[in-house]
Amino acid sequence: MNSTAKKLQDTIFSYIQHHNDSASLQKQDLGKKYEFTGETIEIDGHVLHRIRALRDFGYMFGKVKAGDLGGFIEKEDNLSHQGSCWVFDNARVYQNALVTDNAYVACDVIIKDSATVSDNARVVNNVHISDNAEVCDNAAIYDNVKIYGKAFVGDYSRISENVIINGATIIGDSDIESDTYLSPNDLICDKFIPEIDDPCW
């Protein structure tokens, strides 16, 4: 192969590579479902950014429309661009926490550290999830709940009204409410707990 042909071949390969890279980047950008608005808040020394939807997508209670404002996240790693997961209102997700799949987070919720909320989980109204806690499947968490440690809440569990979950595992069709404290040794499966008095609350 002479030098002219080699140069032409290199030019063609370079063009094809550039075209593929550009197409890949455009496809990736089209896949994004939110952007930062420029509005920020600071919490625990972390700067969080309010998000705005870039496209319409459905979620479990309706539809998020392009232009709708969401809550606050520290970085894009906190909220997946895939699925219909969304952070609403003034909910805050930061550090290495992640909201993914079709999870719904709203109303003064804080998710931080390395906590995850995934699948079809719903977390609403003054809930704090931290450390390595995991909320998944179809779990519903709402109204003054703290979940931390290595807690795991899954399946169809419902937790509400002044509950502290310190590393416990809650699965099945469990219903936990009303001033309840659960410790790392607690394994709750298909149980209803109306009230447990605890001096630590």
152: tokens are: 């795991």
Q: Between the CA of residue 112 and those of 19, 48, 198, what are the distances in Å?
A: 39, 12, 25
pLDDT given for residue 60 in this prediction? 76
Cα dihedral value 90, 32, 139, 187, nearest 10: -100
14: which strand partners?
A: none
What's the rounded Cα separation, in Å, for the pair 55 and 39?
19
Q: What per-residue string of b and e applies to 37-72 under the rule 16 or more CB within 10 Å gives b?
A: eeeeeeeeeeebbbbbbbeebebeeeebeeeeebbb
| pLDDT higher than threshold 70 for residue 12 | no
Q: What is the largest CA-CA distance in the chain?
A: 87
Q: Over pLDDT 90: what percentage of the chain?
A: 77
What's the rounded Cα separation, in Å, for the pair 23 and 180?
53
Reported as a single tens digit per residue, the pLDDT across 139-182 is: 999 999 999 999 999 999 999 999 999 999 999 999 999 899 99
What's the rounded Cα separation, in Å, for the pair 157 and 137?
9
Mean pLDDT of 14-40: 63
Mean pLDDT of 91-120: 98
- Output the pTM of the full model: 0.81
What's the rounded Cα separation, in Å, for the pair 92 and 159?
20
